[in-house]
Amino acid sequence: MKKKVLIVGGVAGGASSACRLRRLDEEAEIIMFERGADISFANCGLPYYVGGVIEQRKKLLVQTPKAMRSRFNIDVRTMSEVSKIFPAEKRVVIKNLLNDTSYEENYDYLVLSPGAQPALHDIPGINKGNVFVVRNVPDSDAIKQYIEINKPSAAAVVGAGYIGLEMAEMLKESGLKVTIVEAAEQIMGALDPDMAAIVQEYIQKHGIDIILSDKVVAMEGSDQVENIQLESGKSVSAQIVIMGAGVKPEVWLAKEAGLAIGTTGGILVDDYLQTSDPHIYAAGDAIQIKDFVTGDDSLVPLAGPANRQGWIVANNICGRKIKYTGSQGTSIVKIMDMVAGGTGQNEKQLKRKNIEYLVCHAHPFSHATYYPGSTQMTIKLLFTPKEGEILGAQVAGYSNVDKTIDVLATAIRADMTVYDLLELELAYAPPFSSAKSPPNMVGYVAANILDNSIDSVRWEEVMDLVEGGAFLIDTRMPNEVEKGSVPGAYNIPVDNLRERLDEIPEDKEICVFCQVGLRSYIANRILKQNGFKTRNISGGYKLYQSLKNCQVIN
C-alpha cells in the first residue's frame, strides 16, 4: 500500500530522513516542509561564511529544493510552516509564509525534525537592530551585510560555546575588537575547566577579551546597541552583538499536539525514535535521546547524530526495525590555529551522576618530533577505576587533534578499555604520527595508574598536600626552571635523581612534576623503588601554567 509521509524540517534530520525514505520506497509520497527559504544547508559552516573563509554563499547549500525534487522525487515546500498537528486524524495544518494562507495535508506517518532554537533571555535591548543570532543562512547574510555597511569597530559575543567561539574568531579576523561574555566560570562547557583553560589562554593571547562568570543585564543604545551592561557593573562597548549562548529544543508544535516531552525538555522518543504517537517519529536537535556512555536522558544538538537519526527513522517507517543506540556527543572546534574537542562524558557530568572515575593527562606530539611541523597536544582521559573502561576524552592542540578524538570516540563506541588503547595498531610514518600514537600514549599513562605503577594527583589537590607537609619536586632542567616553576618546588633534574636521593625527605609524601609528565613518571618509578611514598602530578608544568593563568587554581 502506498504510504504518505510528511516531514517537518528540511535540514539535517529531515533531509536525511527524506532521502533515505525514497531510497527504500520508490512509491511513497514524500512531502517535506521547511519554514525557511533553504533546505539542507550547512549550519555548522555559517560562522565561516560570515568571516569570508567560505566565500560563496551557494557553498552552504548542500542540497536545493529543485535538485531534491529532480533526484529523489520529493515534494519540497519551503517558506511553509506546519502550525498544527491533529494526531487522532493524522492531519496537519500548513501556513504558507509567502502569502499568509493555510491549508491541510493528511499523512500515514509524520516525521518531526524542527531542530533547536537560540536560547535567548529577556534582556532589555536584545531586539535592537545590531543584535544577531546565527541559526540559518539569512542570519549570516544579515551579519555580513551589517558589517559591510556599518563597519563596526567592536563586537560582543554572548556565550562561549562552539558557535560563539567560531564567531569571535571570524569577527576578530574581520578586524573587529572582540569581547566574549560568558555567564559560566569557563568557556566551552563541553570541556572540563582544566582543558578549557588551555583554549582560553590561547584565545586571550591572540587578542580576544574574555569575561567569565558575568551575565548581560541590558543592551544600551537608541536604535542600535552601543554598550552592554553586565551584572557585575562592567560595561562592554560594542557596535554589533552576536548571541551565541546555546540552544534549546524547539518543541512547541509537538507539545501542542499532545506528544510526550522528556525530562530534558526534548521530544520524548523510544529506541526506534517513535514519539508517544505510533505514527509520528522525531529526529535531530529537538529530541531527547540516551547518552551512549551512561544511558541517561540527554540532549545532543549535533549534526552527526541528527543525520543518523533521520536515516534510522526512515528505516523504521519502511519496516526495517533499527534501534538508535544513543549519542556520546563527539564534537570539535577550531579557533584560529588551535583545535579542541571531546567525546563521551566530561568530569563535571560524572560528578553530577556520582559515577566513580579516574583521570589522567598526556601531552604527546602530533607526529614524530624529528620531522618538521610537529606540535604538542593535551589529552585528558576519564576511565573507571577497576576495569579501565573509557568514559570520556578531551583533546586540545594544533594538528592531529581530530584524528585523536576520532580514535578515542571509536574506542568508547566499541566498549574498549585503556588497556585496549595500548593494543591499537595505528598508521605510522614520521609525517603523520609517532610509533606510539597519541591514543597509545594516553593508554599507557592510564594503565600505569590502574596497575599502581604510579600514584597520580591533580594540580587542584597539590597545594593542599604541600600545605599539609608534602615535598614538591621539579624534575626539569635548571634552564627550564629559570623560565618559571611552581612556588616551593625543589629542583632535581631526573637524570641526577639517583645520586641526589639523600636530599629528599623520607618521612614526607613526594609530589613530582616535569614539563608534561614523562620525566616525572620516570622519577616516580625511581623514587617508588627506593622506598619513597611518591605521586605523579598529572599534566605537568604545561597544564599548571594554563590553570594558573586562567585562575582555575590559585
Contact 39, 63 (CB under 8 A): yes
User: CA-to-CA distance for 226 and 196, rounded, in angstroms?
Assistant: 30
The total number of residues written for the chain in this structure: 554
* Cell numbers linked to 311: 536515516
CB neighbours of residue 427 within 10 Å: 8
Residue among 78, 140, 112, 107 nearest 306 (CA): 112
Per DSSP bridges, beta strands 4-8 and 109-112 are parallel
User: CA-to-CA distance for 479 and 458, rounded, in angstroms?
Assistant: 25
Which neighbouring-strand residues pair with 41?
61
pLDDT of residue 245: 83
CB neighbours of residue 412 within 10 Å: 20
Written in H, E and C, the secondary structure of 121-177 is CCCCCCCCCCEEECCCHHHHHHHHHHHHHHCCCEEEEECCCHHHHHHHHHHHHCCCE
Which H/E stretch holds residue 433?
A: none
User: CA-to-CA distance for 116 and 436, rounded, in angstroms?
Assistant: 41
Contact 242, 155 (CB under 8 A): yes
DSSP 35: S
Q: What is the pLDDT of residues 525-546, one digit of tens each?
A: 999 999 999 999 999 999 999 9
Residue among 297, 284, 456 nearest 385 (CA): 456
Q: What is the pLDDT of residues 219-237, one digit of tens each?
A: 999 889 999 999 999 999 9
Q: What is the pLDDT of residues 264-289, one digit of tens each?
A: 999 999 999 999 999 999 999 999 99
* Cell numbers linked to 479: 634552564
Using DSSP, state whether 533 is helix, strand or coil.
coil
Residue among 44, 53, 318 nearest 161 (CA): 44
Residue among 36, 46, 30 nearest 11 (CA): 36
Predicted TM-score (pTM) of this structure? 0.93
pLDDT of residue 57: 87
Which neighbouring-strand residues pair with 397?
339
- Signed CA dihedral, 350, 351, 357, 360: sign only: positive
pLDDT of residue 510: 96
pLDDT of residue 190: 93
The catalytically annotated residue of 44, 318, 511, 550 is 44
Using DSSP, state whether 327 is helix, strand or coil.
strand
302-327 burial, b if ≥16 CB within 10 A, otherwise e?
A: bbebbbbbbbbbbbbbbeeeeebebb
Segments in the chain below pLDDT 50: none
Catalytic residue status for 44: yes
Show Cβ contacts of residue 408 under 8 Å, excluding neighbours closer than 6 positions: 343, 344, 379, 381, 390, 393, 395, 439, 442
Per DSSP bridges, beta strands 490-491 and 510-513 are unpaired
DSSP strands (E only) in 277-400: 280-282, 287-290, 297-298, 331-335, 338-344, 358-362, 378-383, 390-397
Contacts 24+ apart (CB under 8 A), 277-281: 277/87, 279/87, 279/90, 279/107, 279/108, 279/109, 279/110, 280/85, 280/87, 280/109, 280/110, 280/111, 280/112, 281/17, 281/109, 281/110, 281/111, 281/112, 281/313, 281/316, 281/317
DSSP 233: S
User: CA-to-CA distance for 102 and 88, rounded, in angstroms?
Assistant: 20
pLDDT of residue 121: 83
DSSP 373: T
CB neighbours of residue 493 within 10 Å: 17
* Residue indicated by cell numbers 547574510: 141
* Single-letter amino acid code for the residue at 4: K
112-125 burial, b if ≥16 CB within 10 A, otherwise e?
A: bbbbbbbebeebeb
User: CA-to-CA distance for 275 and 270, rounded, in angstroms?
Assistant: 7
User: CA-to-CA distance for 310 and 293, rounded, in angstroms?
Assistant: 21
User: CA-to-CA distance for 372 and 414, rounded, in angstroms?
Assistant: 34
